[in-house]
Homo-oligomer: A and B are copies of this chain.
Amino acid sequence: MTESTIAPAEVGHVACIGAGVIGGGWVAHFLARGYRVTAWDPADDAAEKLHRLVELAWPALTELGLAEGASRENLTVAATLEDAVAEAEFVQESAPEDLDLKRDLLARIDAATPAGVVISSSTSGFTMTEMQDRCPTPQRLVVGHPFNPPYLIPLVEVVGGESTEDWAVRWASEFFEVAGKSVITMDREVPGFIANRLQEAIWREALHMVANGEATVEQIDASITEGPGLRWPLFGPCLTFHLAGGEGGMAHMLDHFGPSLKAPWTRLEAPELTSELRDRMVDGCEEASGGRPIPELVAERDQAVIAVMRAMQQVRGTR
């Protein structure tokens, strides 16, 4: 199969298959970025729900700044899947998480989509290798995993399956960047990708705590919104802990808290803290922080926490 003939930056027309919370969120995002969007969803009330979702998202998108030419008028709801993708220059599939359904649906999409057009799936956890095996041209299928709501959260994780060709992964990553997303391109398939594995670990621990009566839903949420949740928008878990080690950074943190790693603090088993893993974390933090000294990072983190707290006070104050 040959590489797509259209450049990522030249795409003007996107098809969205499936128009629930995620698919509809993609529709809102692409509309706001100035694309023409053709959507299709088998549900009877899909068009109505989709329009409601776009209405609900539009004030936020307007506030963020619409792209030139962006308009809700650029949305067409197609009568069939085949109509929806017939002239698409990119296709995003966001059907329910049902492997068999997705395998069939992606095969149908693939059969109906013009040659060379990249098809991306919003799946939250299936690998493309599992999903692409019924497709006539699986080479152009990738995972493009967004976060809710896709019209606001920048992250998209891009990864191909065994039958995906490299150009499709590259094309999709570039397209998503052009379309205003933050892209993580993965070089291998990992169930749940990256962010879902991390948030799923939190989620499962939370469910265990609620199941055991150790904490309530309200306590769990407060423990994040009043605690680590205020730090993560700036630095993420690694650089956050880089700052927990004082001026010694990640190295001191791992050497000091290393033994606690085995403590029964979560039901998730700890990995062996080998010297190799230790070095990988230390070097990774050095790299991710651009080698900036800890006091500079601390000052920036403090600014970020204050800004986040103020923003939350303002948002909550308008209730």
Binding site for B on A (CB under 8 A): 20-21, 56-57, 59-60, 63-64, 96-97, 124-125, 147-149, 152-155, 157, 182, 184, 186, 188, 190-211, 214-239, 241, 243-246, 256-257, 259-261, 263-274, 276-277, 280-281, 283-285, 287-288, 295, 298-312, 314-316, 318-319
Contact = CB atoms under 8 A, between A and B. Distances in A.
A43 to B, nearest CB: 12
A229 B236 contact: yes
Contacts of A20: 246
Contacts of A231: 147-148, 153
Copies in the complex: 2
Given A241-B203, A303-B60, A155 B227 contact: yes
30 contacts: A60-B302, A97-B259, A97-B260, A148-B243, A152-B230, A152-B302, A152-B306, A153-B226, A153-B305, A154-B227, A154-B309, A197-B265, A199-B202, A201-B202, A204-B261, A206-B237, A206-B238, A216-B284, A217-B284, A217-B287, A217-B288, A220-B237, A225-B233, A229-B229, A229-B232, A233-B312, A300-B315, A303-B318, A307-B312, A311-B311
Secondary structure at the A interface, as helix, strand, loop or mixed, is helix
A266 to B, nearest CB: 4
Contact of A153 (B96, B191, B227, B285): B227
Given A218-B287, A238-B220, A288-B217, A228 B199 contact: yes
A50 to B, nearest CB: 11
Contact of A315 (B225, B234, B238, B268): B234
A266 B302 contact: no
Given A152-B306, A201-B268, A314-B307, A236 B221 contact: yes
Nearest to A242: B217
A223 B202 CA distance: 14
Contact of A203 (B204, B219, B237): B237
Among A211, A257, A311, A319, the most chain B Cβ lie within 10 Å of the Cβ of A311
A270 B157 CA distance: 23
Contacts of A229: 229, 232-233, 236
Contact of A155 (B155, B223, B239): B223
